Chain A
Amino acid sequence: MTTAVAASAREAGDPQLTPPRAGAKRRRWTPYLLLIPGLLWLTLFFIVPLVQLGSASLQSQWPGAPGYYYRDVNVGNYVEALRTYGVHFLRSLLYAGTATVLCFAVAFPLAYAMAFKAGRWRNVMLILVVAPFFTSFILRTIAWRQILADDGFVASTLRAVHLLPGGHITETWVAVVAGLTYNFLPFMVLPIYTSLERADPRLLEAGRDLYADRFTNLRTVTIPLAAPGILAGTLLTFIPAAGDYVNAELLGSDTSTKMVGNVINSQFFTVLGGYPTAAALSISLMILILVLVLGYVRRFGTEEVL
């Protein structure tokens, strides 16, 4: 067995990239040899940690010894965590959902212009979309705090026309949603652009030739063509946004805009004995997102996502 593996390991550096032909028995092993290192890594540092997190979410605390736990099946951790922090869950979903919708509204015209209107400026625009990424996202979020600050241009203008009832933008949910929208926007633009770029522009012309007005053309031709990109983009925006805590931490308030990510973070690091609660919240968040994603993909999905 070991010699067989060693012998075929020599082949691993020499992947045979033609489809396997009949009679080439040793080639059956090649795909597995290519997969083993990567999948081993994912198993060891993704699957096993999740299982361990699941078991930590069921641990109980030794009475009278905060911070020390023993193995248990304490489902009460989940009940307690969801009862106390259910509102943070809802808030995360609401903020992430709103940010995803806003991202789509902003990203679609940009992707459309890049794919069909930009001509030779297309690659320049592509670079411009990705470029802000390279300034650290924490720095950019802090820059938003400066832009939206009470004495900044945006807030003072809105105050001057009496459109800012509370007097602040920072420390409110508006700032958090704005930050989420900004930070994950490129994740929405790029997939939509990719599917529009692949689309045949003649289909759009055909729509126009058949006397479809602009809105009909958009609804019946352009958006269906972009559907795989929209699906991927909404997932790539919603998932990280729902688990984010940096925006809520830097742009939001200490009390009313905390998201579930903030709770998980603080239960892990600052609350003594918060470990099982944090683990239970993490597992619940993961399950919730998987259920939402599966439902969403099943409803709108294509094979292309996986």
Chain B
Amino acid sequence: MRRARSWVSDNIAMIIAVGVLVYLFLPVLYTFVFSFNNYRRSNITWNPEGSPTLKHWANPCGAPGVCPALVESIKIGALATLVATVLGALIAFALVRYSFRGRSSTNVLVFLPMATPEVVLGASLLTIFIQAFRMDLGFWTVVIAHIMFCISFVVVTVKARLQSLDPRLEEAASDLYANPRTTFMRITFPLALPGIVAAALLSFSLSFDDFIITNFVSGNETTFPKFVYVSYTRGIPAQANVIGFSMFVIAVLCVIAAQVIGSRRRGATA
């Protein structure tokens, strides 16, 4: 009894941690289970009469609108990630490697969008698109908005990576008569690359999952989160669960692959 109690008190943090992880996964599990629901009208409650079915997995595009929305989300995410990663990485390089006038105001300007609630960002973008730029709401306004809020996250991520690098590596390169271009291509960029990749992945997932800002500036454009939200009142098709859960599996596999490759490479250099 006493031994049991001391085991519990030694591992209390771990026990809570496992509990929290279960809590984090509970809704994902629900999403998964309800992708097999043999429902008639609405996929909100489990249909006790029908046996679990694989028909939604066999035909993930079966519900009207699901796959077009998914394709739009992927296109928007890819474009926004590309532009935001380039623009954000350039800012991060400037902030870490140069001292210049206006540095602290640049920091504030990068920080502010992250400290602004999404409704405010969405509302202000909608206002400017309609009242001043007179743009038609749709694909491009969503891309513009997503690039805007991704830039700050890219800057923060890449900056953290650059700050952790040893500046002596670059000094060594220039001591060995590497010109600045060579130093950048052979030393700085490869070392910064993991940070840039992490920033790109973060951008894509932020863009892919964004609902609030997208809802403000999208007009008739439908992304995947918007599709789910809009179809909620009528009943979400189980195909959305199939796609949502598949995205989860794909992302986890990517992260695991990145981890394995990273640790192999580390093993090879050691």
Residues of A within 8 A of B (CB): 14-20, 28, 30-32, 34-35, 37-39, 41-43, 45-50, 52-53, 56, 106-107, 109-110, 112-114, 116-118, 123, 125, 127-147, 149, 151, 182, 185-186, 235-236, 239-240, 242-246, 250, 260-261, 264-265, 268, 278-279, 282-283, 285-286, 289-290, 293, 306
Contacts and interface: CB of A to CB of B under 8 A. Distances in A.
Contacts of A289: 115-117
A110 B16 contact: yes
What is the predominant secondary structure among interface residues of chain B facing chain A? helix
A144 B93 CA distance: 42
B144 interface: yes
Contacts of B123: 53, 264, 268, 278-279, 282
A138 B57 CA distance: 20
A23 B194 CA distance: 34
Contacts of A145: 44
B25 interface: yes
Contacts of A14: 180-181, 184
Contacts of A133: 205, 209, 251
A219 B94 CA distance: 39
Given A52-B124, A133-B209, 4 more contacts: A38-B87, A49-B124, A117-B13, A131-B255
Contacts, number: 281
14 contacts: A17-B97, A18-B183, A41-B147, A42-B151, A46-B112, A110-B21, A117-B14, A135-B31, A135-B248, A136-B247, A149-B44, A240-B117, A243-B119, A265-B215
B90 A38 contact: yes
Contacts of B125: 45, 49
B209 to A, nearest CB: 6
B47 interface: no
B7 interface: no
A39 B228 contact: no
